[in-house]
Structure 1
Amino acid sequence: MNFKKYISFPLLLFIPLSVAADALHWGDLVVFITSAIAIAPLAIWLSTATEELALALGPAVGGLLNALFGNATELIIALVALRQGLVEIVKASITGSILGDLLLVLGLAMFWGGLKFKEQEFQKIVVRVSAPTMALAVTAIALPTIVINTSQVVDPVAITNLSIIAAAVLMIVYGLTLLFSLKTHSYLYDVGMISQPNPNLVKPTHIGMWVGVLVVSTLGVAIESDLFVGVVESVTNTFGLTPLFTGVILLPLLGDIAGYVTAVRVATQNNMDLTVSIALGSSLLVALFVAPVLVLVGQWMGQPMDLNFNPFEVIAIVIAITVANLISLSGRSNWLDGALLLATYIVLGVAFYYHPA
């Protein structure tokens, strides 16, 4: 049993605790803490089920599963928040997820991997493909913000239409990246697996078991997210936290805990190819799929969700992409590279904490 699964077992106790805290009215803070902790093991098991099914079903289907469920926890939390009208927090969570993947996940992996190995190498192809693709994503995300800040009169309908068109284009681009990485140029992405395939996993009984784990974990995340989001405003207001800081820092830290554990574990096994693929691939998934889905679903729900981000969020994403690309383009990493990425994340996090928005 790997470490990720081992640490998840005691945390499962917080699932009934969070439900009891809500039902018995133990207070918003107790519900906030217990539901936040309860989401962590569910996210770990959701991630584990996705990995195991990917191993069992082969590279093509497995790659598609990872593409669809790689950020499932973050997407579920964002959808629940969107349903409750917390649009600004949802927008900020998109920014936070991208920053977390590029700076925190990659930084932790390079730092801990660099402590064990003097220098680690990885294929440059993932970086070369993701860099221009992420540049396109940031351009599309920044356009409504740029239009608003360069126009004297802003038509909300025009901003909404621009956001919908940009979201559609980004989803098409995401589909093209999947076609490129899983089909036409899949040989360039032979970065290895997290663990060696287990022959027993191909048996229908094992596949059915992991499908069950995937379904139960997804439902559990949805239930706990509803509890968490229901009290997040009151608790964060009590501590003087802005929706911007809550969305950029708190929600991504909660939603991607499985990604942090996996990236660090793989890096300490000297498989930086997979680590870099996880971090950059996850950031692309957020920018090209999660953000557009939230825009389209928000319009369907009647929520004013668009791509009009706080200008500082756009600047922070540009900084994160620039720093991550500068460090990753060499195809080599060490503990200092990881420290630089983590330092960038910390500085931006402090800036978001003091930002008055």
Structure 2
Amino acid sequence: MSPRSPPTEYSPLLENGDGAQQPQSYTHRVLNVIKAEGEPSWAHSYRHFIFGSWFNLFLVFVPLSFISHNLGWDAGLRFLFSFLAIMPLAKLLGDATDQLSVKLGGTLSGLLNASFGNAVEIIVGIAALLDDQIRIVQTSMLGSILSNLLLVLGCSFLAGGLKHHEGNFQVQGAQASASLMTLACITLVIPAAYNSLSTNGHAVSHCDIPNSMGGCPSSGLLAISRGTAILLFFVYGAYLLFQLKTHREFFEDQAEEETAAEMNTFSAGTALLLVTVITAFCAEYLVASIEETAERYHIPEAFIGLILLPIVGNAAEHVTSIWMALKNKYELTIGICVGSSIQIATFVVPLLVMVGWASGHELTLFFANFETVILFVSVFLVTILIMDGRSNYMEGLMLITLYVVIAIAFWVTE
């Protein structure tokens, strides 16, 4: 075809498999606009999205979640069905985000991952926040950080260490990530310290005792939390620039393989939007059943928020991180585990604080002293283990052991 050929709408022809020309329908012309040339077809895109993983078999629990909620089934069944439904939805969110990232380039890809990389945690957190379950919001956020840092990273180091004598990753990137995670941890220690000071000094504005259980925090605690949230947004933005632009060599796997596009851009975008909406409903059903489930089956709410809910959002990341460690791609493992924890601490938690501010739900960065200590010692252990740029199965075992000890502690916590 010559460069001066008429526009498509005046030459509506399609070439079929044997080279013959056939008229191009209006539908075909529209599809050509929203699917760039060379991208996978719509049929291939959605076939890959729905049938690309055995994990999607769990999607059967999505309609069960809707049915059980609307028919008022037992709270335990509603919780279980919604819990199992969100796991494949979390993976689909990650798949759609990855497919969009293939076409967007480094910077936009980073922004997209910042928005949707922990979409399940954001959706569950907002649902719990709007339902005034502040305790669930805080424990689920803390649990997501601990799950990534201890359980997922520990299992990855253990699996990789059993296959390879020692794993290696870039020290500079690990140090930068560990330092930022330490900063995020310190920002949670300061509100706890302020709360202790203001409580002892009776410097409380409109509450008897500010607390993290959904009570009425002091104006000073709210100011510290909201100001810190804004600053953490800027820090996370700088971290994205540092990681994706100015010092990207610190975080790159030298043997990293490019991801092949399995979906066209428009189908990936529509799939991302649809799965986000479905996930929001399932998250709302899950949160609505937590209180009754905890009371009926004598499960501490702190254990549900800290241990069970993070499994939902981290299931797909868990498998991917272990797989990367087995392939000796530890830069990707560190990026998944530590990077996701940084994203939650410096993006998701501040975002929820701001959403609470806008919606009249007074969420703060004050965690209970016990939880603050647990986060501090967990970050401290992870920092020590990754600062040398090497890993082995013994380090993985140490991380898993600490996670199990924490789980036991929260099981007996009322």
**AA at the equivalent of 2:398:** L
Query: d(CA) in 1 for partners of 2:195 and 2:104?
Result: 46
Specify the alignment match of 1:333 in structure 2. Answer: 391
Specify the alignment match of 2:58 in structure 1. Answer: 11
Larger deviation, residues 274-283 vs 243-252: 243-252
How far apart are residue 94 of structure 1 and its match? 1.6
How far apart are residue 55 of structure 1 and its match? 2.2
Q: Give the one of 285, 310, 324 matched to 2:343.
A: 285
Query: d(CA) in 1 for partners of 2:250 and 2:390?
Result: 18
Query: d(CA) in 1 for partners of 2:317 and 2:86?
Result: 13
Matched, 1:74 2:121: yes
How far apart are residue 264 of structure 1 and its match? 1.1
Query: d(CA) in 2 for partners of 1:184 and 1:73?
Result: 30
Specify the alignment match of 2:14 in structure 1. Answer: none
For the structure 1 residues 20 and 73, does the alpha-carbon distance in structure 2 shift closer, same or farther, using more than 3 Å as the test? same
Specify the alignment match of 2:322 in structure 1. Answer: 264
How far apart are residue 141 of structure 1 and its match? 1.5
Query: d(CA) in 1 for partners of 2:326 and 2:271?
Result: 27
Query: d(CA) in 2 for partners of 1:192 and 1:27?
Result: 51
Q: Give the one of 228, 239, 243 matched to 1:181.
A: 243
**AA at the equivalent of 1:171:** F
Larger of the two Rg values belongs to structure: 2
Matched, 1:35 2:48: no
Query: d(CA) in 2 for partners of 1:68 and 1:24?
Result: 34
For residues 39-62 of structure 1, what are the alpha-carbon distances to aligned partners after superposition, in whole Å with 9 as ceiling and x for unaligned? 011001101111222223222222
Matched, 1:170 2:217: no
How far apart are residue 310 of structure 1 and its match? 0.6
**AA at the equivalent of 1:54:** S
Matched, 1:307 2:365: yes
Q: How does 1:40-189 map to 2 (within 5 A)?
A: 40-151=87-198, 152=200, 153-155=202-204, 156-189=218-251
Give the conservation status (yes or no) of the 8 Å contact 2:124–2:283.
Answer: yes
TM-score by length of 1: 0.93
**AA at the equivalent of 1:269:** K
Q: Give the one of 223, 239, 242 matched to 2:297.
A: 239
How far apart are residue 68 of structure 1 and its match? 2.1
Query: d(CA) in 2 for partners of 1:217 and 1:335?
Result: 36
Matched, 1:296 2:349: no
Query: d(CA) in 2 for partners of 1:180 and 1:337?
Result: 28
Higher relative contact order (CA 8 A, sep 6+): 1
TM-score by length of 2: 0.81
Give the conservation status (yes or no) of the 8 Å contact 2:290–2:301.
Answer: no
**AA at the equivalent of 1:252:** P
Matched, 1:191 2:249: no
Give the conservation status (yes or no) of the 8 Å contact 1:119–1:333.
Answer: yes
For residues 206-238 of structure 1, what are the alpha-carbon distances to aligned partners after superposition, in whole Å with 9 as ceiling and x for unaligned? 111111221112111101001111111110122
How far apart are residue 137 of structure 1 and its match? 1.2
3-state SS of 1:107 partner: helix
Moved over 6 A (4+): none
Query: d(CA) in 2 for partners of 1:193 and 1:83?
Result: 44
Query: d(CA) in 2 for partners of 1:314 and 1:195?
Result: 39
How far apart are residue 194 of structure 1 and its match? 7.4
How far apart are residue 69 of structure 1 and its match? 1.5
Query: d(CA) in 1 for partners of 2:256 and 2:72?
Result: 42
Give the conservation status (yes or no) of the 8 Å contact 1:126–1:277.
Answer: no
**AA at the equivalent of 2:290:** V
Query: d(CA) in 2 for partners of 1:194 and 1:206?
Result: 22
Query: d(CA) in 2 for partners of 1:286 and 1:311?
Result: 20
For residues 155-195 of structure 1, what are the alpha-carbon distances to aligned partners after superposition, in whole Å with 9 as ceiling and x for unaligned? 21111111111111111111111111112222322236975
For residues 56-78 of structure 1, what are the alpha-carbon distances to aligned partners after superposition, in whole Å with 9 as ceiling and x for unaligned? 32222222222221111111101
Query: d(CA) in 2 for partners of 1:44 and 1:16?
Result: 17
For the structure 1 residues 229 and 118, does the alpha-carbon distance in structure 2 shift closer, same or farther, using more than 3 Å as the test? same
Specify the alignment match of 1:224 in structure 2. Answer: 282
Query: d(CA) in 1 for partners of 2:156 and 2:354?
Result: 33
How far apart are residue 122 of structure 1 and its match? 0.8
For residues 125-153 of structure 1, what are the alpha-carbon distances to aligned partners after superposition, in whole Å with 9 as ceiling and x for unaligned? 22211222122211111211111113321
Query: d(CA) in 1 for partners of 2:310 and 2:255?
Result: 25
Alignment RMSD: 1.9
How far apart are residue 99 of structure 1 and its match? 0.6
Query: d(CA) in 1 for partners of 2:52 and 2:306?
Result: 27
Unaligned runs of 5+ in 2: 1-47, 205-217
3-state SS of 2:339 partner: helix
How far apart are residue 305 of structure 1 and its match? 0.6
Query: d(CA) in 1 for partners of 2:126 and 2:299?
Result: 21
Give the conservation status (yes or no) of the 8 Å contact 1:56–1:197.
Answer: no
